[in-house]
């Protein structure tokens, strides 16, 4: 390889590194790095649930979820926080059990402990995350057999 070809190859490699990870194609299963990014988003959301400070986490919700909250008249972060703050559940711990991946989403299976109406509980929750605009967003929550708006 001549010097000009080596320089061009080196520049192309540098640009690839600077551009960051390639966006997921519709058929690609998320890489371990992408799963780690999704888990970080979920951990931020779980901290909101644990601390009962929901307003900052409204931005972590997918368009689907924010539209569902908007349909209920809770389409702003403050409205969302007000309704979530009135829930009678307090979360104490979140333990990630499993990760399921598909081309469309990552689902985190989590053991949750807390208190509801003064009584302790342990439940399994599933948090679905999807890529939206280059970022992972919370797109659904299942509490046992019931779907819930995150």
pLDDT value, residue 71: 93
Q: What is the pLDDT of residues 105-118, one digit of tens each?
A: 999 999 999 999 99
pLDDT value, residue 132: 95
Distance CA 14, CA 101 (A): 30
Higher per-residue pLDDT: 10 or 129: 129
Q: What is the pLDDT of residues 136-147, one digit of tens each?
A: 999 999 998 899
Instruction: Sketch out the chain's domains with CATH numbers.
Output: 27-148 (3.10.450.100)
- For 134: left if phi > 0, alpha if psi spans -120 to 50, otherwise beta; the answer is left
Q: What is the pLDDT of residues 74-97, one digit of tens each?
A: 889 999 999 898 888 999 999 999
Question: In angstroms, how far is the first alpha carbon of the chain from the final one?
Answer: 55
Percent of the chain with pLDDT over 70: 82
Residue with tokens 């520049």: 11
Point out the least confidently predicted range of 21-35, 63-77, 83-97.
21-35
């Amino acid at each position: 390889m001549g010097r000009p070809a080596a320089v061009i190859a080196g520049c192309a490699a540098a640009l690839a590194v600077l551009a960051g990870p390639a966006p997921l194609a519709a058929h690609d299963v998320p890489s371990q790095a992408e799963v780690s990014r999704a888990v970080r988003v979920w951990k931020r959301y779980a901290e909101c649930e644990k601390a009962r400070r929901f307003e900052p986490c409204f931005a972590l919700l997918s368009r689907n979820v924010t539209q569902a909250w908007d349909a209920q008249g809770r389409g702003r972060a403050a409205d969302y926080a007000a309704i979530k703050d009135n829930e009678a559940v307090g979360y104490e711990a979140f333990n990630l059990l499993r990760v399921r991946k598909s081309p469309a989403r990552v689902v985190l299976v989590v053991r949750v402990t807390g208190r509801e109406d003064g009584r302790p509980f342990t439940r399994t929750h599933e948090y679905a995350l999807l890529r939206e605009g280059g970022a992972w967003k919370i797109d659904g929550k299942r509490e046992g057999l019931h779907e819930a708006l995150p």
